[in-house]
Amino acid sequence: MRYFPSASRPRLSAAVLACALAIGAMAVPLAQAADDDLKGKQDKVEQQIEHAHDDLEHSSKEVRRATARLEAAQAKLDAAEDAYAVARAKLTAAQARDTELRTKLAAAEQRLTEARADLTAGEQAVKDQRARFVDRVTGLYVKGDPRLLGLSSILAANDPNDLLRRVQANDTVIAKEDAAYDELRSIEVLLRVRETQVEDAQQAVAEQQAAAAAHVETMETLTAGAATAKEQVAGLFADARAARREAGAAQERDRLVLRQLKKREARIKQQILAAARRAARRGGGYTGESDGFLSSPVKGARVTSPFGYREHPIYHYWGLHDGTDFGAGCGTPLRAVADGTVMQAYWSSVYGNRLYVNVGRANGKFLTAVYNHATRYTVGPGERVRRGEVIGYVGSTGWSTGCHLHFTVLANGDPVNPMDWI
């Protein structure tokens, strides 16, 4: 079996590690002297990216779909929450602007009220001053034109002192007339100023009212937008929660399948150990270099995911990838890696079409070759196979994301690195 939970430890996923290494590799200066080193790093990154992709087959299509839906729902929820935050920020700013506009409008209306009061007072002052001016002028002219009377009085003077007195008296009369007129004119000028102030205040009020009215529309739009964004967040939160439940249920079903498979593999291991004991009693077997004892199960195929421990990309536990993945097109012939006997052939919802071939003892260990995900096999339990013989065809059955062979080597029933024997 490829992955089973073990001691839980924080680990970076293969996908995250691959992305981090990819960024690091792209940041390396492309100096001529470092070309070989850079090429090696790029190759390593490409391999790790492939491994991360291949690791996804360690979960069912149902889990992959549920997980993808969960990730999509979460992404939409995050985007909706961001949009809602932006809408709330705009609405808050608009509310502050609304308060500012209301304050300005109130101030403008207050200035208009004061200007109108000043205008009313000015109009009354002009009216009163005109009345006083008319009374004063009328009083002065009752006996005739003061200027002519003054001239007549001056001409009638008896001596220089009398002349001076008459001139001063005449100047006083004329000065009073001029003062009354100047006061009236000043009050009329002030009245015109106050009229202008009222007009300006009215214009300011009109402008503030227009700005406030326009802002009301903005507020209504932003309020509606914030409400819509909030509803979207609520709906997407429900979607994400449902997707999370769905993904959890699918993962639990996967775990049940894996537990059942583990039990079956435990039974097969006991059969392998029994066969190993029988072979040991017979004696013999291969002794020598393990490297090269087995032939390649797929001619010309490249390794896309090696044997070893890593973090599962969906379940996030640290487990063993118990074989070597060879990338090859569906229908590519699968070959016997050594002479042997077919021990088991069955369908697994995880591994699809599986085939166990006992290939005998080597360096004191009983070896079994296990083929997985095949489209079909051409041999069955109990049949003898010869090294290089076509025994099946590459496929993508079971928990698989693409055409490939997951090849496992068991030594006394336990998985070992196939590349140590090929």
Q: What is the pLDDT, as a whole number, of residue 392?
A: 98
Q: What is the pLDDT, as a whole number, of residue 17?
A: 33
Question: Per the structure block, which two tokens stand in for 44?
Answer: 């390593």
Q: What is the pLDDT, as a whole number, of residue 137?
A: 63
Q: What is the pLDDT, as a whole number, of residue 66?
A: 72
Question: Per the structure block, which two tokens stand in for 266?
Answer: 């435990």
* CB of 18 closer than 8 Å to CB of 48: yes
For the chain, what's the residue count? 422
Token look-up 């779909």 returns 65
Q: Name the nearest CA neighbour of 77 among 233, 230, 225, 231.
A: 233
Ranges of residues in the chain whose predicted pLDDT is under 50? 1-35, 38-57
- Burial label for 255, CB within 10 Å (0-12, 13-18, 19+), is middle
- Residue 304 host element (H or E): strand 302-305
Domain 285-420 has CATH 1.20.1560.10: no
Q: What is the pLDDT, as a whole number, of residue 23?
A: 33
Strand 352-362 to 365-374 pairing = antiparallel
Q: pLDDT tens across 59-69, in order?
A: 566 666 777 77
* CB of 55 closer than 8 Å to CB of 14: yes
Residue type, 150: G
- Burial label for 369, CB within 10 Å (0-12, 13-18, 19+), is buried
Residue ranges with strand state E in 70-188: none
Cβ of 52: how many Cβ atoms within 10 Å?
20
Query: What are the boundaries of each domain within the chain?
Result: 59-283, 285-420
DSSP 332: P
